[in-house]
């Protein structure tokens, strides 16, 4: 059984009718297709990411999976339960953590906030106190449990949000921009806790949406790209890299070769996608290229550069980061 599975999931926002339009002002003037035939599967114990430009449909998809919004058509199943027909069972099996600090009552203490949200989940009395105390201790905010939330640092607020998401001990945890207000050290600790403790040690499924693509690259087993309401890619970073760059790309820093001899080197070894930039630090050039003949002839390429009078300062494979891959992928989708 998949932890999350969607099939033909579609959501269309339609403008209100004449009567409703007369009673309220709606920003929707014409139909908007927010999700278009979305098919996804997420495995139990997987850390899965969702990325896409603003307006791609990410928030709509998460709201449907959390039973906050009904789809127009298609199906969505979370922990083996249909989000439309079994919404109450789905709600018990999912937790949600937002990066938005305003989701808390700032003039209540951290403990009081968690008691409030526990009550919304039908958790009261001794059970609620035990769970809240356990989570605050585990997340390192027990000493501030009775302090007003407005006095919390951004990192403490995010840990409080995580405690809120874990109140019901969910099988599936949704994280929405969880590190956007954190400093680098706090973000690193948060990501490490989610990946190593919640996913690896406890086997929870985590569904992460973020505009910080380094979070997706560092944390997720797989991810999907949502563009215009449609899934345009689903897989690993390496799979996207191979799709966009079927040939290995390299960077060679050298000096001692003028433009004519660089062109000679390129022709001799059939360098593809060649770009040449000046190397301002030591003089010379930086060559970026794809090498179609395989790693076996790379040593010959270095020797060839030396025979032409060049000094090779460094030579390494260039792996594009997810941010660069995302821009290239989305640009390709737009062009098609």
CA-nearest of 189, 117, 101 to 151 is 101
Give the model confidence (pLDDT) of 53-112 as tens digits.
999 999 999 999 999 999 999 999 999 999 999 999 999 999 999 877 677 999 999 999
Domain annotation for the chain: domains and CATH numbers: 4-242 (3.40.50.300), 246-319 (3.30.70.260)
- In degrees, rounded to 5, the angle at the alpha carbon of residue 25 between the alpha carbons of residues 20 and 26 is 80
Give the model confidence (pLDDT) of 225-282 as tens digits.
999 999 999 999 999 988 887 777 889 999 888 888 889 988 988 888 888 888 766 6
Mean pLDDT of the chain: 90
Helix (H, G, I), strand (E, B) or coil at 51: strand
In the structure, what pLDDT confidence band is assigned to residue 27 with cuts at 50, 70 and 90? low
Is the C-alpha dihedral spanning 110, 113, 118, 121 positive or negative? negative
Sort 255 into a burial class: Cβ within 10 Å, 0-12 / 13-18 / 19+: middle
Given a cut of 60, whether residue 23 has pLDDT beyond it is: no
In the structure, what pLDDT confidence band is assigned to residue 138 with cuts at 50, 70 and 90? very high
Given a cut of 60, whether residue 293 has pLDDT beyond it is: no
Cα–Cα distance for residue pair 284/253, rounded to 1 Å: 8
């Amino acid at each position: 059984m998949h932890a999350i599975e969607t099939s033909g999931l579609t959501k269309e926002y339609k403008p209100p009718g004449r009567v409703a339009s007369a009673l309220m002002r709606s920003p929707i003037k014409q139909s908007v297709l927010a999700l278009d035939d979305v098919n996804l599967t997420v495995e139990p114990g997987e850390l899965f990411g969702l990325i896409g430009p603003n307006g791609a449909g990410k928030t709509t998809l998460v709201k449907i999976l959390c039973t906050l919004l009904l789809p127009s058509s298609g199906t969505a199943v979370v922990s083996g339960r249909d989000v439309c027909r079994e919404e109450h069972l789905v709600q018990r099996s999912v937790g949600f953590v937002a990066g938005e600090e305003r989701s808390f009552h700032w003039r209540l203490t951290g403990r009081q906030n968690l008691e409030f949200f526990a009550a919304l989940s039908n958790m009261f009395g001794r059970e609620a106190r035990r769970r809240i105390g356990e989570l605050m201790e585990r997340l390192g905010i027990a000493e501030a449990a009775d302090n007003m939330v407005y006095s919390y640092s951004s990192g403490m607020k995010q840990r409080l949000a995580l405690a809120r998401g874990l109140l019901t001990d969910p099988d599936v945890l949704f994280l929405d921009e969880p590190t956007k207000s954190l400093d680098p050290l706090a973000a690193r600790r948060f990501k490490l806790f989610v990946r190593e403790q919640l996913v690896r040690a406890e086997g929870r499924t985590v569904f992460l949406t973020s505009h910080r693509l380094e979070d997706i690259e560092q944390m997720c087993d797989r991810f999907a790209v949502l563009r215009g309401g449609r899934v345009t890619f689903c897989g690993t970073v390496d799979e996207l890299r191979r799709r966009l760059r079927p040939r290995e790309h390299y960077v060679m820093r050298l000096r001692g070769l003028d433009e004519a001899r660089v062109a000679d080197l390129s022709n001799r070894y059939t360098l593809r996608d060649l770009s040449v930039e000046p190397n301002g630090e030591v003089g010379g050039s930086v060559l970026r290229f794809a090498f179609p003949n395989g790693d076996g002839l790379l040593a010959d390429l270095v020797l060839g550069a030396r025979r032409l009078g060049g000094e090779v300062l460094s030579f390494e494979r260039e792996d594009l980061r997810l941010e660069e891959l995302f821009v290239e992928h989305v640009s390709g989708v737009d062009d098609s």
